[in-house]
Chains A and B, each alone.
Chain A
């Protein structure tokens, strides 16, 4: 067991865990952050996407020992912010949400994209979502959702 201190959704926290435990399990089971989903457990589907120092990572393949001193943001940390609301509403209005299981990861991938590329073209959007699988939408409406968010949220990223 090891003490690990990191920033989670803007607050500094310390957990005592086996350093090889998955960040995903600590977030979901110990900290109750269930917006982070487990889809595959091997870094292929992106349902468990979180931001680690602003970069999109799959929390199922990040050991908790590797987050010492870093900044972790989950959907719970951005859903009430201006940027989070902009993406969520744009998804809702574009038909980007079907079964919804991939959607939290898609919102995180969109936030990571728009922070670095506020006016992405379609190819940049496709690349940014390429690590996040969706089986319902065929991706069309996720892409139009991000385009709508980029248009509406000009200046907030």
Chain B
């Protein structure tokens, strides 16, 4: 790794690493996260939550409260305000009404000055329920167990797509062999190291929320309707955010709703910070999935068609589950160009905690299922999985499952060459064979950058503002947050390079809805590719009229590149303008007695366009891959009696330093013409594939089909006993 951390990027390669702008402040413990900030005297609070999965709320009995203590409920929502959070869908309530739909649903908020007295008062609240039969799993939901939760079929979304104009049924009836498969993935908890937290207070007649969050403008929109006030009456400021991974995209809205109602009533600063057990028990998770394939082969064992049924567990409210489902659907053929594909995708309502955004946003489930299914076909026809998959690699001009076109240069063959060499794959694969307790395998994946289709143009409409100060420093006013991914540094580098000024003269202004331009949410691998490009364009404009020692502001709006065609009603055309691409190889040894797996090596090659900072990009690769390996191996999260059974860090296990070796990470450069200096999306791509590479390696080592994650010793034992 190059440790030359100078300003060389201004005149040389932009990827030349710099010292992250926030590194010393954080490593030295100077950075103030929400729990470290001083808001003067604050009131503390406890969310009062449902302890039943599905019930009518009969009565909530509150003990007499001492002076200065408050119980806030939906009755406190001001006239004209709605008991609805305006998220992607506005079905998630601020407070439960006559019924509760999941364990953890907010019923009220208890507020007061003393934390221990609050806990005592909380224990004295008595809630009377009239329970009915809940549905927790995808099957229970589809069978309408206990009666429907949503509509008359429990389907928040039900999509039907077909690739190609052929008759799928006749493709299947004319085929020589049909291979069927069912692949499942479970819940995953984000485990951002800093739990959810925010503080609300009044300032100049406005409701101010300072929060650990990814999307300040989302939060403003989510709660303004609750109070029936104009958007500018709500100010959301981002605090230093200790990790998010999608868990601080929409979920903070669920805390902000009760908080603003309490603020409206009490008019004093109020803090809500979750402890870890609350955070694991009562926040949104990655959607579990169950994906079924029927694949038709011809007499030469060539795939001639696929029929795919995708179902994801959305939980009790829809929130963004239909968009997550879209990503899962669009990712279901991973990097392969397969003919004659029919897809049904459903997001089902259950009585579990609502599932929501998590790095990858549906793609990890789709890609895991596709990769495992492809490896199962390879096993069934007796071909090595890598050789089999390679045959179906898409190419420039290749067709996607939405009948769109891959526009960019696809570098998969070059990437495969690199990883074959780096991992010594062919020698090892031959030597280890199958079922001998040691094996190496690979996964292939891609991830579309930005919002689906024309979402950037039609929904987000990003704006970016740059201001040149009279001292020749330049401020960047955008809504995209620094949450650990390094965006403060990389977007500042983009501006500094265009303007040819030192990084120290670029001021990334912390997102605040009262001053930032609304460049959209920090999600969907869009920050650098979309917003970074706007920063570049704005800096170029600023340069044209650059006059020393005078002030000057420019604002630019997103313009969709030509050539991207999308029909959002029928999901036809180019779902994404460009993709990041990845290959991950994993080598494992499986203990014959304990069934524990030692990971001996992890290799990756990624195409992220042009890296804006080598160190930050490799850091994203390492972190995303380890998080994905955790998903694939350790992170078991079950629902028992409607609640998350693993709810502390002692029993929800994430990777430590002892679980996986250092990752060999390599890149190919492949400039994207509409990205800043050629950059594409990255943050989610690096999560999408490693779980499948791990599962495929264990599959080869034990010579048994693996169809679900996490691949833990108990699962391996059950397969070996078959």
Interface residues of A (CB under 8 A from B): 28, 34-42, 44-45, 47, 75-76, 79, 84, 87-89, 91-104, 107, 122, 125-127, 129-144, 148
Contact = CB atoms under 8 A, between A and B. Distances in A.
A97 B27 contact: yes
B493 to A, nearest CB: 14
5 contacts: A41-B275, A84-B28, A125-B657, A138-B655, A148-B3
B625 A97 contact: no
Nearest to B29: A35
Given A95-B17, A138-B626, A133 B27 contact: no
How extensive is the interface on chain B, given as a class? Answer: 35 or more
B91 interface: no
A137 B33 contact: no
Given A42-B276, A140-B662, A135 B29 contact: no
Interface stretch (B80-88, B96-104, B236-244): B236-244
A79 B648 contact: no
A99 B27 contact: no
B626 A89 contact: no
Q: Dominant SS at the A interface?
A: loop
Contacts, number: 179
B634 interface: no
Contact of B192 (A93, A99, A107, A132): A99
A143 B192 CA distance: 20
Interface in B610-658: 615-616, 618-619, 621-627, 648-650, 654-658
Nearest to A148: B3
Q: Dominant SS at the B interface?
A: loop
Given A95-B616, A100-B240, A76 B27 contact: no
Contact of A136 (B3, B32, B623): B623
A35 B1 contact: no
B250 to A, nearest CB: 19
B720 interface: no
A85 B616 CA distance: 22
B276 A100 contact: no
A76 B36 CA distance: 14
Given A95-B615, A100-B26, A141 B33 contact: no
A92 B622 contact: no
B194 A99 contact: yes
B20 interface: yes
A91 B22 CA distance: 12
Nearest to B30: A35
Contact of B484 (A87, A88, A93, A99): A99
Interface of B: 1, 3, 5, 17, 19-20, 22-33, 35-36, 190-195, 240-245, 275-277, 483-486, 615-616, 618-619, 621-627, 648-650, 654-658, 660, 662-663
A100 B27 contact: yes
B27 A104 contact: yes
Nearest to B613: A95
Contacts of A126: 657-658
A101 B33 contact: yes
Nearest to A45: B649
A138 B648 contact: no
B23 A135 contact: no
Contacts of A133: 191, 193, 649, 654, 656
Q: Which 6 A-B pairs have the closest CB atoms?
A: A35-B29, A100-B26, A99-B484, A101-B242, A138-B622, A138-B626
B650 A92 contact: no
A100 B35 contact: no
A104 to B, nearest CB: 4
Contacts of A37: 33, 35, 193-194, 242
B650 A136 contact: no
B243 A136 contact: yes
Contact of B193 (A76, A94, A102, A125): A102
A26 to B, nearest CB: 14
A33 to B, nearest CB: 8
Contacts of A148: 3
A133 B656 CA distance: 6
B622 A140 contact: yes
